[in-house]
Amino acid sequence: VIDATSLGWDTRVKGFVACFAIGCLCSLLGSCLLWVPKKGLTLFAVFYTLGNIASIGSTLFLMGPMKQLKRMFEPTRLIATVVMLVSI
């Protein structure tokens, strides 16, 4: 059962690259849309936030969700995690 639900290493790397590329693209698009009159700030906030979430989510492919969450909430990383989540 465990083998049927886990991803192979090559699939994990492809998922990481795709998700990270989408995150970078959204962040870049958000930065470009900042200069659109009247709606620019809203578009920037939406696309930049989606880009950050996608980029952070890309690491879930490499480490796995539970290991990622455990490492994010370690005592030495807790403050950085809280600040990052609040800023999103």
Question: Would you state the pLDDT for residue 7?
Answer: 78
pTM score:
0.77
CA distance 26 to 30: 6
CB 6 within 8 A of CB 20: no
Q: Confidence band (pLDDT; 50, 70, 90) for 62?
A: confident
DSSP string, 48-69: HHHHHHHHHHHHHHHH-HHHHH
pLDDT at res. 2: 57
Structure confidence by residue, pLDDT tens digits, 19-57? 999 999 999 999 999 888 899 999 999 999 999 999 988
The average confidence (pLDDT) of the chain is 88
User: For residue 63, which of 18, 1, 11, 12 has the smallest C-alpha distance?
Assistant: 12
